[in-house]
């Protein structure tokens, strides 16, 4: 469940900290690439430079969402023709920088695509707003599918060719088949003439991760094959791209912190409130991934006889790390390790209560 080299690293580290398993990330990036024509790793998912270098070594390109992401891409030595920008907010300075680097733009709006033209761009993609979106951001991103043909006409008149479509939504709790079916339903609303002329369709990230467990390569391969066939029936003959950040790196990260306080629980003696010596994302979403306990550097193998609600040590009730987690009897100073924390955890931790973000260690 937890590699021995990770246990060793945690046992000698200053806690709290995040441990990232670089070899595992490279392997998972290669698996994602085996399913796609091109894979873009979203830097925001895990902006640790050594992890970004690792996925690049596996063959990924980079999905960038900000000027800060561009700085990371430059720092790790990634060429501009391996960048793609997708963001709801990009000023002309950022657009010109992306254009001069030879990078791609999946524009978030017609207005942004037209400004891309004034910054030197002649081709771009457009992001589609998912129909009945499952993601919390709802209509924040993209252009409705029914409006893509009109947008393409406006772009053509301005001298910009629409070369691709980008469809991103929340699919984490879907099965791979449900994931592919939902993508196909949304893309079927695009005018077939536009779809036929596209060089690529980017299906985004948020791949199926039911109960925190990544969908298998075999099930995804089958589902994406069905999606490819459905797109072909609509006339699309281009490439299938995606940016599955969480699916790649979430299983490769471990969040370790010491037990700072143990309290009785209102539900009775077989329950405990556990406070860990770490700050957290605020608000923090309780993890669905497993937890383990280390004591004196060794994995605690006693029966998991307690049901624990686990919190960080911020002075707020919004730092719930785990709910109803089964753990063995704990002692102050024990190390609790939350598995599956390689994506969107450390990067979202603010300096709340004036505490530093936990350190990052990449193996």
> Distance between CA atoms of 358 and 16, rounded to whole angstroms?
5
pLDDT (mean) for 106-129: 96
250: CB partners within 8 A, 6+ apart = 209, 212, 214, 289, 340, 341, 342, 343, 344
The label of the residue with tokens 């081709």 reads 123
Q: Using the predicted structure, report yes or no on whether residue 141 has a pLDDT greater than 70.
A: yes
Helix (H) or strand (E) holding 223: helix 217-233
Structural contact between residues 205 and 281, judged by C-beta atoms closer than 8 angstroms:
no
pLDDT value for 355:
85
**CATH class of the domain at 251-362:** mainly beta
CA 258 to chain centre: 26
Torsions phi, psi for 113 (to 5 deg): -65, -40
DSSP 146: G
pLDDT tens digit string along 229-254? 999 999 999 999 999 999 999 999 99
Average pLDDT of every residue of the chain: 94
pLDDT value for 139:
75
Smallest CA-to-CA distance from 223 within 178, 254, 159 is with 178
> Distance between CA atoms of 44 and 67, rounded to whole angstroms?
11
Conformation bin of residue 19: beta by default, left when phi > 0, alpha when psi is -120 to 50: beta
> Distance between CA atoms of 167 and 189, rounded to whole angstroms?
12
User: What share of the chain in percent tops pLDDT 90?
Assistant: 87
Range name among 72-81, 115-124, 142-151 with the lowest pLDDT average: 142-151
Q: Using the predicted structure, report yes or no on whether residue 78 has a pLDDT greater than 70.
A: yes
pLDDT value for 15:
97
pLDDT value for 45:
96
- Name the band, by pLDDT with cuts 50, 70 and 90, for residue 2: very high
Q: Using the predicted structure, report yes or no on whether residue 135 has a pLDDT greater than 70.
A: no
Hey, which residues does 322 pair with through a beta bridge?
Answer: 310
Q: Using the predicted structure, report yes or no on whether residue 104 has a pLDDT greater than 90.
A: yes
Per-residue tokens: 210: 């039911």
Smallest CA-to-CA distance from 144 within 153, 134, 156, 132 is with 132
> Distance between CA atoms of 127 and 144, rounded to whole angstroms?
9
pLDDT (mean) for 94-115: 97
Per-residue tokens: 28: 């998972």
Single pTM value for the model: 0.94
pLDDT tens digit string along 264-308? 999 999 999 999 999 999 888 899 999 999 999 999 999 999 999
* 12 against 168, higher pLDDT: 12
pLDDT tens digit string along 202-211? 999 999 998 8
Domain locations in the chain as residue ranges? 22-250, 251-362
pLDDT value for 300:
94
Q: Using the predicted structure, report yes or no on whether residue 138 has a pLDDT greater than 80.
A: no
Q: Using the predicted structure, report yes or no on whether residue 133 has a pLDDT greater than 80.
A: no
Q: Using the predicted structure, report yes or no on whether residue 178 has a pLDDT greater than 90.
A: yes
Q: In the CATH scheme, what is the code of domain 22-250?
A: 3.20.20.10
pLDDT value for 190:
94
User: What share of the chain in percent tops pLDDT 70?
Assistant: 98
pLDDT value for 134:
64
């Amino acid at each position: 469940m937890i590699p021995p080299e990770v246990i060793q690293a945690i046992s000698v580290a200053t806690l709290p900290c995040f441990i990232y398993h670089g070899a595992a990330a490279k392997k998972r990036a290669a698996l994602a690439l085996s399913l796609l024509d091109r894979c873009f790793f979203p830097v925001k998912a895990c902006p640790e430079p050594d992890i970004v270098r690792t996925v690049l070594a596996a063959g990924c390109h980079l999905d960038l969402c900000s000027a800060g992401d561009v700085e990371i891409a430059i720092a790790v030595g990634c060429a501009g023709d391996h960048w793609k920008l997708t963001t709801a907010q990009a000023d002309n300075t950022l657009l010109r920088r992306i254009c001069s680097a030879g990078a791609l733009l999946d524009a978030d709006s017609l207005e942004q695509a037209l400004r891309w033209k004034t910054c030197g761009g002649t081709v771009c993609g457009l992001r589609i707003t998912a129909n009945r979106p499952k993601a919390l951001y709802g209509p924040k991103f993209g252009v409705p599918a029914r409006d893509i043909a009109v947008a393409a006409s406006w772009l053509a008149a301005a001298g910009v060719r629409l070369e691709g479509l980008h469809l991103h939504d929340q699919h984490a709790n879907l099965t791979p088949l449900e994931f592919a079916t939902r993508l196909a339903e949304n893309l079927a609303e695009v005018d077939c003439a536009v779809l036929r002329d596209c060089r690529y369709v980017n299906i985004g990230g948020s791949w199926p991760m039911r109960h925190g467990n990544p969908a298998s390569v075999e099930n995804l391969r089958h589902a994406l094959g069905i999606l490819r066939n459905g797109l072909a029936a609509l006339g699309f003959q281009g490439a299938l791209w995606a940016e599955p950040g969480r699916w790649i790196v979430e299983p490769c990260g471990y969040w370790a912190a010491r037990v700072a306080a143990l309290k009785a629980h209102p539900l009775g003696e077989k329950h405990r409130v556990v406070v860990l010596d770490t700050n957290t994302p605020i608000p923090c979403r309780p993890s669905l991934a497993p937890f383990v306990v280390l004591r004196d550097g060794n994995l605690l193998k006693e029966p998991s006889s307690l049901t624990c609600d686990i919190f960080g040590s911020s002075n707020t009730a919004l730092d719930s790390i785990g709910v109803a987690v089964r753990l063995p009897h704990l002692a102050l100073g024990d190390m609790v390790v939350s598995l599956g924390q390689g994506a969107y955890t450390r990067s979202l931790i603010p300096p709340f209560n004036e505490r530093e973000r936990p350190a990052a260690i990449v193996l």
